Amino acid sequence: MNSKSDKRKGSGKGKSVSKKSKGDLKKCQVDFSMNEDYVSDAFKQLFSKFWKGEAADLTDSSAVGYNEPFRCCQLRNFVQDPAGLLRDLRDQLLDLEFIEKNNDLYKFEQSDDLKNASFPAVAGLRRLLTGPLLAWLRELTGIALTDTVASTCSRYQFTDGLLCHDDELEGRRIAFVLYLVPPWEQGDGGLLDLFDRDESGQPRAVVRSLVPADNTLVLFEVTPESFHQVSEVLSDDKCRLSVNGWFHGPPVARPPPHVEARPPPRPPKSVEEETVYAWINPIYLAEETQLDIRRQFEADSQIQLEDFLLPDKYAAVTAALRELPQWEAVGPANRRRVERCRLDQLPAEAAQCLALLESEALFLVLSQLTGLTLHRLAAEPTPEEGPASSADSADDDKDGSTAVCRTEVRRWRPGCYTLVHDHDASQREEALDARLFLGVEDWSDHLGGFTSYLARGEDTELLSVSPVPNALSLVYRDDETVHFVKYINSQAKSKPPFYDVACTYYE
């Protein structure tokens, strides 16, 4: 079990400041001002019409704004900086204590709220945000913004990113990002990607990408439509530093939560007895081994069965999946990005493997390995008597069995992930998750791709499952447990994709 919860971390990079110089700095006061162009009557009128939807996209010599896919603008050279105060601001921000943030949605480093910062340039920027900029936004947007302004410093470095979300929470009305970055190019990653929406109001595709630029302020309205992400930082020597947060006000009306329709679970099928012995490692069909595994599973609610398929079958299924051209990217991005194969398009070897995992014989094997009632014969023998024969039961009728399963075949490569938000509140369930990993080569968790289990509403990880070649991972989860597959980052480009047959079994 690996813990990947948030950890405190020092700033690492950035200009060091001695205790004496820090004390001297705190006696100073630094004041920042907005670019005088943005407080002119002409620009204020132009901006106000844009924000209120009374004009088309905003185009100005130093500012640009878009109405699609949602209202967003960039104000270049936002802070007047004749004395080079922004350099001091960057240095002081990097001397803050950062918290490493790492969960299903993001990986980056973040400071505490800047209202607690004592460095003079940081405090000066905070005064600009909560004073002149807040008043400016109240006047020009027509939104009754409160005095609450949340602000933190975020630091994104190589492989860091923030996946698709809409920012809506606790009265957030306008989001802002002030970039303090070195010269930045699109190929460096770290872009602010804006999504359009499908007919259900869910994020569909990135239709606009904003490249970070130093001393540029980005503003966008927080609505049920404001789906965006910070793409993975691809540069290994640049720091994407920003001050970001939200201006708060009366919450906007939101539509009911979108609930996805799921395919109905299917009852088990029959397979020939010879199929079971031709595919599964015989050690997992032996009564003594099954009893040992069952005791461990009942104690831990999870186990990973290595070398589950016989070598020739594992090699054949892996080769067939690697040659398969039909893989469909599946979203929406605020829930997942995976590549999936339609089950009716599976090559023969993979279809046979899937049929085995959906078979009544496998339901019984899993009952013997876990103690769950996935087969009507599972409850008949006691542990002392030994389990019933799975192979002999392969063609038994299913009268009295209510167990069912959902299955999918997926390909995993850089950019793939699932989020905790993948679990609708209406889909609370108790189930056995089984994942058969195929084509995994020298995988490491720093690449992502591991499955993390959490208690619903909590951040502390309960369990982490890493991809292991030809391993069947079994995890029992109750209705208060959720899980996600961590975003696979660009470092995995040197690895071939791996695959899994993911099955969820219900008693």
Structural contact between residues 191 and 132, judged by C-beta atoms closer than 8 angstroms = no
* Residues 231, 294: Cα–Cα separation, whole Å: 43
- Which residue has better confidence, 379 or 220? 220
Q: How confident is the model at residue 376 (pLDDT cuts 50, 70, 90)?
A: confident
Check pLDDT > 70 for residue 491: yes
CA atoms 366, 371, 374, 378: torsion sign: positive
pLDDT for the residue numbered 83:
83
Q: How confident is the model at residue 377 (pLDDT cuts 50, 70, 90)?
A: confident
Mean pLDDT of 357-361: 96
Alpha-carbon separation of residue 325 from 105, 250, 337, 413 (angstroms) = 29, 50, 18, 14
Name the CATH superfamily, with its identifier, for domain 273-506.
q2cbj1_9rhob like domain (2.60.120.620)
pLDDT for the residue numbered 400:
55
Choices 2.30.130.10, 1.10.10.10, 1.10.3720.10, 2.60.120.620: CATH for 28-248 = 2.60.120.620
Mean pLDDT of 439-466: 95
* Residues 36, 44: Cα–Cα separation, whole Å: 11
pLDDT digits (tens, 9 = 90+) for 148-176: 999 999 999 999 999 999 998 889 999 99
pLDDT digits (tens, 9 = 90+) for 31-40: 999 999 999 9
Cα 24 to the center of its chain, rounded Å? 43
Mean pLDDT of 171-186: 98
Check pLDDT > 80 for residue 6: no
Q: How confident is the model at residue 396 (pLDDT cuts 50, 70, 90)?
A: very low
Alpha-carbon separation of residue 290 from 314, 365, 368, 372 (angstroms) = 21, 8, 6, 13
State the DSSP code for 256.
Answer: P
Check pLDDT > 80 for residue 115: yes
pLDDT for the residue numbered 424:
61
Residue listed under structure tokens 């080769």: 319
Selection from 311, 332, 312, 315 nearest residue 323 by Cα: 315
Q: How confident is the model at residue 426 (pLDDT cuts 50, 70, 90)?
A: low
pLDDT for the residue numbered 61:
79
Q: How confident is the model at residue 258 (pLDDT cuts 50, 70, 90)?
A: confident
Q: Which of 126-135, 253-262, 297-306 has the lowest mean pLDDT?
A: 253-262
pLDDT digits (tens, 9 = 90+) for 225-234: 999 999 999 9
pLDDT for the residue numbered 9:
36
Structural contact between residues 47 and 141, judged by C-beta atoms closer than 8 angstroms = no
pLDDT for the residue numbered 45:
95
What does 77-123 look like in DSSP terms, one character per residue? T-B--TT-HHHHHHHHHHTS-EEEEESSSEEEEEESPGGG---HHHH
273-506 matches 28-248 in CATH topology: yes
State the DSSP code for 385.
Answer: T
Best-predicted range by mean pLDDT among 111-115, 269-273, 378-382, 421-425?
Answer: 111-115
Mean pLDDT of 140-155: 98
* Share above pLDDT 70 across residues of the chain, in percent, rounded to a whole number: 89
Q: Where are the domains of the chain?
A: 28-248, 273-506
pLDDT for the residue numbered 311:
98
Q: Is the pTM of this model over 0.85?
A: yes
Best-predicted range by mean pLDDT among 82-91, 265-274, 411-420?
Answer: 411-420
Mean pLDDT of 18-27: 48
Q: What residue type is assigned to position 329 of the chain?
A: A
Check pLDDT > 90 for residue 500: yes
Mean pLDDT of 408-429: 84
* Mean pLDDT rounded to a whole number for the chain: 90
* Residues 449, 434: Cα–Cα separation, whole Å: 15
Mean pLDDT of 287-293: 96
Cα 442 to the center of its chain, rounded Å? 23
